[in-house]
Amino acid sequence: MRSRFFHVPIFHTEASTYEKKAGWLELFYDLIYVAAFIQLGNFFSKNISLAYFIKTFAVFIPLWITWTGFTYYSNRYNVDDIFHRILVFLKMFCVGAMGMSIYSLFHGKPLAFGLSYAFSQFLIFLLYLRSWKQQTVGADYAKYWGYAFLINGALWIAALFWGSYFYIGWIFGVAIVMLAPLSPYARSLADKYPFDHEHLSERYGLLTIIVLGESFVKVLSELSIGYVGFAQVFQACFALLLTCSIWWIYFDDVAGTELSKTRYAMTTWLFSHLPLQAAIIFLGVGIKKAALFKGGDLTFEYALLLSISIGFTLISTALIDAVTLRRNSELSNRFRVNIRLISGIIVFLIGFVSQSMSGTLFMCLCLLICLFQIVFDILSAPTSTNEKELMQEAVHLTAPDHKDATVRNALTLEPVLKGVPNDYKKDIYFFFMQATWPQLLMAIIFIYIVSNLFFATLYLLVPNAISGSAFHSFLDTFFFSVQTMSTIGYGVLSPQGLFSNMIVTIEAAFGLIGIAVVTGVIFAKLAKPSSKVLFSRNMLDTTLDGKRTLTFRIGNARGNDIIAADIRLSALLDYTTQEGEHTRKLTTLTTTRAGTPLFKLSWTVNHIIDEDSPLFHIDMTGGDLLAIIVIVTGHDGTYSNTIYSRHHYIPEDIMQNRYFKDIIHKLPNGRLMINYDDFHSLKP
């Protein structure tokens, strides 16, 4: 039992035996940042300009540092006595004071904000100081970071005496804390005491939830002020879909991902959250403005703010993706990072040419790019990303005493690949070859539209780049891009000037290469051989010619020529070695006829269960037999290529003392008819 008044902090690392979760005090502590971020966003929304954009981001940095400093301390130490709670409450008041003094800071009165921040740093120093004095484990870590926060706070206090140059001392103070993780000594401490990344991921996810929620707070607050019609409510909901899209992108792709083992992975992951979460705050302001605009009068400042916010969000996500490993992703991480970067750049460009389109079209384009990120994530990782659930299911499946039908049915599914090295994952060509036709066509159409969208925005960057188009018309430049990429050229629209001709040259080359690649993929997919071999629903354990026989039948549903067809049967058995190791054993089953010169009709496959059969001592309904795997190969006369088909039978599919109903009949003109209506039918 530990005293509630005062006890020794417990040093925590990734190797600790217990799982660390965000505590109630941490969650309560986060609430003060809701108020601070709302204050910061409200002030910027009234002064939207480049200067205030920079100032707002500069003020966000110390707020973010105060949150990060306490979060990393909580990640390292488990402590919840009265003294600790008092320090945390004091720190919350400091953060609240920072939020209240933002207005004074922006009007040239830095005293309140500077003192509040400095005292928040001193409180983090006190947290590390008590841990250093009381806990010998990790004392070097506590000493290093305690001094870093102490110097940071001291510089902020000293800078208040520098008059109008106070910000120089503040920059140095912030730089000390932000550069501290990069020092060789800090890296050696991180290697010596690995962080609990799962806890950190949870905490930064919670902060992201807070800044995302600001969008809803701002929009709903504005809507509740006065009467709004259905059109404005619909428009606001449409704008808030951007927030939902960002939530999906972060929590389906970033939150909870495994950190790679590269040298600066942890530092990159940490500092990429700074522009990400700042961009989401700016996004909340932009969504508020975009949600309430009337007709097509979305101003350039609001559109640019929205596009820059979304662009920074996607680019920051790409930086995090570059140092994390997406669980169960079937595509290479590199491709995922490039998609994020390209999408972020396109959104940037759309913002700069937003005045050439209506506000509704601008919002639709931004939302389209965000929704594409979601669709891409779903297609590249179609299975669950919950690693704990996956591991629990995996343990469940490999348990030697578990024999129910659910486990054995799982053998018929495609495997979930976990931990595949990035260089061995699917490339985009392989991914498209395995994709369905609707998926491939949707991908081609989207790439085609986004590519033309990208080049159209480039043409709009220079006035009068396209001769024959309306002034600054997005639709004219978009359709000109379509004509250029497809090498049509009707003669009405044409480039003028060096810049537009250079873009035309690049786009024409891109179009020629793109058409060649798409044509190759489609031809390869069309020419890919496929089989239509129909397997009977059941396998029969019956008697033929006085011998116990395992039998099933297959049919060539296409009815074309499959020449030199071969069949292989293998039994997957639950097996325990002499050393007691539980494993699965795959053994070959011989058939009475292993091949046929021409497989055009149906084929009944038989395996005699005698003393030489691996199934002779196996109970078909018991747990020893997991599945019977069937592989059929042959040369397809239509494709002039080898085709194959496979099927699994589990014990529940094996029927006792039954026979297949005859399906081959002779017509009056002498031709044979195969009645596939009775293909699966059985008789006693």
The SS3 call for residue 328 is coil
Query: Span 521-526, mean pLDDT?
Result: 86
Question: Which of 116-120, 395-399, 620-624 reaches the highest mean pLDDT?
Answer: 116-120
Least confident stretch, 218-227, 383-392, 576-585: 383-392
Given phi > 0 = left and psi -120 to 50 = alpha, else beta, which region is 496? Answer: beta
Residue 259: phi, psi to the nearest 5?
Answer: -80, 135
Q: What is the mean pLDDT of the chain?
A: 83
Query: Span 106-131, mean pLDDT?
Result: 92
Q: Is the pLDDT of residue 640 over 90?
A: no
Residue 476 burial class via C-beta count within 10 angstroms: exposed 0-12, middle 13-18, buried 19 and up: buried
One-letter identity of residue 360:
T
Rounded Cα gap, residues 21 and 199, in angstroms = 6
Residue 406 pLDDT grade (very low, low, confident, very high; cuts 50, 70, 90): very low
- Concatenating the DSSP letter of every residue in 275-316 gives HHHHHHHHHHHHHHHHHT--TT---HHHHHHHHHHHHHHHHH
Query: Span 291-296, mean pLDDT?
Result: 64
CB 240 within 8 A of CB 215: yes
Provide the pLDDT for residue 403: 43
Provide the pLDDT for residue 401: 44
Query: Span 213-225, mean pLDDT?
Result: 75
**pLDDT tens figures, 440-485:** 888 888 889 888 988 998 988 888 888 888 777 888 899 999 999 9
CB 104 within 8 A of CB 44: no
Provide the pLDDT for residue 295: 56
Domains of the chain by range and CATH? 1-10+22-194 (no CATH), 197-385 (no CATH), 427-527 (1.10.287.70), 533-683 (2.60.40.1400)
For the chain, what percent of residues have pLDDT higher than 90? Answer: 22
CA atoms within 13 A on the CB side of 154: 8
**pLDDT tens figures, 325-351:** 776 666 777 888 888 899 999 998 888
Please name the residue that has the structure tokens 């993780």.
181
Provide the pLDDT for residue 263: 80
Q: What is the CA radius of gyration of the chain?
A: 33
Least confident stretch, 3-7, 127-131, 524-528: 3-7
Query: Span 524-550, mean pLDDT?
Result: 87
The SS3 call for residue 82 is helix
Provide the pLDDT for residue 582: 73
Residue 195 burial class via C-beta count within 10 angstroms: exposed 0-12, middle 13-18, buried 19 and up: middle
Residue 408 pLDDT grade (very low, low, confident, very high; cuts 50, 70, 90): very low
Q: Is the pLDDT of residue 390 over 80?
A: no
Query: Span 551-578, mean pLDDT?
Result: 86
H or E stretch including 597? strand 595-599
Q: Is the pLDDT of residue 314 over 90?
A: yes
Rounded Cα gap, residues 510 and 522, in angstroms = 18
Strand 494-495 with 539-544, pairing? unpaired
**pLDDT tens figures, 480-507:** 999 999 888 787 888 888 888 999 999 9
Provide the pLDDT for residue 405: 42
Least confident stretch, 55-59, 67-71, 406-410: 406-410
Q: Is the pLDDT of residue 400 over 50?
A: no
Question: Which of 39-43, 179-183, 352-356, 428-432 reaches the highest mean pLDDT?
Answer: 179-183
CB 139 within 8 A of CB 189: no
**605 or 491, greater pLDDT:** 605
CA-wise closest residue to 628 among 540, 555, 545? 540
CA-wise closest residue to 91 among 70, 68, 75, 65? 70
- C-alpha dist (Å) from residue 524 to 379, 430, 441, 518, 520: 21, 11, 14, 10, 6
Q: Is the pLDDT of residue 116 over 90?
A: yes
One-letter identity of residue 664:
I
Rounded Cα gap, residues 42 and 36, in angstroms = 10
- Concatenating the DSSP letter of every residue in 129-142 gives HHHHHH--TTHHHH
pTM: 0.76
